């Protein structure tokens, strides 16, 4: 059994530089979707909105297409080329971000964000299956990839705050957009062409389940993914404004608040390295429950906390939310043939992200009318439902089909 230090985050079959670009792609994917959440107050002032919450519904289209767009993206990844789709991802997302930086009103901003969501939909059903298709330790690979994705969230909080302070909110979209386009060009030049479409290659699931058990696992996986996506979207899109409200008269500089939030995300992201390695060694059910149950009381306490007490509780909340992220992708690797993984991942993401896009649409109006305290009680309820669903996850030793 390998140790954490022996687990390579890059599968041996991929050129190392491509593995790094695929992990960078995950960081870029999450970073771009959360630039707006950090910049919304500055944008609202420029566009004449009295409250940041009134501008939040304009980003719902981005998260809706981020989910629904995963279906055609996954299908094209399997049937055409994962390499080709990743080139489209980098260049398309970067160009959409540059276009968004030129928005002159809320509707143009919403259209630009929606276009960004459409290109961002490509990564999860295409990039992750490409990264793990020959991995000997998929849990560790997915854990490192998850760390990269959530460091992208931390970078969004930090860099956006600095851009707003020094260059204005438009630069927070335009400059990363140009860098993203450069990454796409590098990927096209450095990634070897695929000799055949993924759906024509030989592949296989790591664990073979009976048809009934497989149906049960995927129903539970989808329900858990919906709950996890709701928790992720409500927190990551609302945390910047939460800190601004609960740190009033303590810290009010947007750059310092961005640094504070970035530190939460950076520390919490490390949980995915630990969880990713544990996935290769432990049963899914017990490990996932260990992350789900403590989240409920932490969310309840955070509903009333302020200042540095809130910071500590928020750090605990994000460690548990981020730590649970690798499970769904690891389940797909474990139970689904590689020839189908992009399509299965796309369908799962369409359901979970499509439903959880409601979180982004609801966030502003909900907080405006009921406050962050009520929001955290809602999140505790979602975490409780997720825990109950996980109890129904079957044990693998009871449902595995013996190998022939």
Q: What is the pLDDT of residues 223-255, one digit of tens each?
A: 888 899 899 888 988 888 899 899 988 887 877
pLDDT confidence of residue 265:
87
pLDDT digits 0-9 by tens, 105-154? 999 999 999 999 999 999 999 999 999 887 778 888 888 998 888 788 77
d(CA 121, CA 47): 28
CATH superfamily of 16-399: MFS general substrate transporter like domains (1.20.1250.20)
Q: Which residues pair with 179 in a beta bridge?
A: none
pLDDT digits 0-9 by tens, 268-288? 888 888 988 888 788 778 888
Q: Which residues pair with 138 in a beta bridge?
A: none
The answer to whether the beta carbons of residues 52 and 41 sit under 8 Å apart is yes
Of the candidates 205, 117, 396, the residue with the CA atom closest to the CA atom of residue 283: 396
pLDDT, average across residues 324-353: 81
d(CA 102, CA 301): 41
The answer to whether the beta carbons of residues 379 and 231 sit under 8 Å apart is yes
Q: What percent of the chain has pLDDT over 70?
A: 92
Q: Which residues pair with 209 in a beta bridge?
A: 400
Question: What is the per-residue DSSP string for 356-367?
Answer: HHHHHHHHHHHH
Q: Strand (E) positions, 22-133?
A: none
Count CA atoms closer than 13 A to 380's CA, side-chain side.
Answer: 16
Burial label for 84, CB within 10 Å (0-12, 13-18, 19+), is middle
Of the candidates 310, 298, 227, 230, the residue with the CA atom closest to the CA atom of residue 264: 310
Total number of residues shown for the chain: 404
Residue boundaries of the structural domains of the chain: 16-399
d(CA 280, CA 297): 28
pTM of this prediction exceeds 0.85: no
For the beta carbon of residue 324, count every other beta carbon within 10 angstroms: 28
Cα dihedral across residues 302, 303, 307, 311: positive or negative? positive
pLDDT confidence of residue 276:
86
pLDDT digits 0-9 by tens, 193-202? 887 888 776 6
The answer to whether the beta carbons of residues 141 and 253 sit under 8 Å apart is no
d(CA 347, CA 261): 32
Of the candidates 95, 66, 103, 135, the residue with the CA atom closest to the CA atom of residue 352: 66
pLDDT digits 0-9 by tens, 51-107? 888 888 888 889 889 889 999 999 998 899 999 999 999 999 999 999 999 999 999
**CA separation, residue 276 to residues 18, 199, 235, 271, 329 (Å):** 20, 26, 22, 8, 10
pLDDT confidence of residue 157:
76
């Amino acid at each position: 059994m390998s140790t954490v230090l022996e687990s390579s985050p890059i599968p041996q079959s991929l050129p190392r530089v491509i593995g790094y670009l695929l992990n960078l792609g995950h960081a870029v994917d999450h970073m771009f979707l959360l630039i707006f959440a950090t910049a919304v107050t500055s944008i609202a002032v420029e566009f004449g909105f009295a409250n940041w919450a009134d501008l939040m519904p304009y980003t719902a289209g981005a998260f809706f297409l981020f989910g629904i767009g995963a279906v055609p993206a996954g299908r094209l990844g399997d049937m055409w080329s994962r390499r080709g789709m990743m080139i489209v991802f980098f260049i398309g997302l970067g160009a959409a971000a540059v276009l968004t930086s030129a928005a002159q009103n809320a509707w143009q901003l919403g259209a630009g964000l929606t276009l960004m969501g459409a290109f961002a939909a490509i990564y999860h059903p295409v990039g992750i299956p490409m990264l793990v298709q020959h991995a000997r330790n998929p849990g560790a690979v997915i854990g490192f990839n998850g760390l990269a994705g959530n460091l992208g969230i931390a970078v969004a909080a930090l860099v956006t705050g600095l851009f707003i302070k020094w260059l204005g909110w438009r630069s927070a979209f335009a400059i990363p957009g140009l860098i993203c386009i450069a990454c796409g060009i590098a990927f096209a030049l450095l990634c070897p062409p695929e000799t055949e479409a993924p759906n024509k290659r030989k592949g296989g699931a790591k664990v073979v389940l009976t048809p009934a058990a497989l149906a049960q696992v995927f129903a539970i996986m989808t329900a858990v993914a919906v709950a996890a996506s709701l928790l992720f979207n409500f927190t990551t899109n609302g945390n910047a404004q939460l800190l601004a409200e609960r740190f009033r008269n303590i810290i009010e500089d947007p750059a310092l608040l961005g640094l504070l939030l970035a530190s939460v995300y950076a520390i919490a992201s490390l949980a995915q390295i630990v969880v990713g390695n544990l996935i290769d060694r432990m049963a899914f059910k017990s490990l996932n429950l260990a992350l789900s149950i403590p989240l409920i009381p932490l969310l309840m306490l955070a509903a009333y906390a302020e200042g540095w007490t809130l910071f500590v509780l928020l750090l605990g909340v994000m460690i548990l939310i981020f730590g649970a992220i690798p499970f769904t992708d690891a389940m797909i690797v474990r139970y689904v043939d590689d020839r189908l993984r992009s399509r299965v991942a796309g369908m799962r993401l369409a359901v979970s992200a499509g439903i959880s896009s409601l979180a982004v649409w609801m966030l502003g109006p909900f907080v405006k009318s009921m406050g962050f305290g009520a929001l955290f009680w809602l999140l505790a309820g979602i975490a409780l439902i997720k825990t109950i669903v996980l109890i129904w996850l079957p044990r693998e030793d009871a449902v595995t089909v013996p190998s022939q």
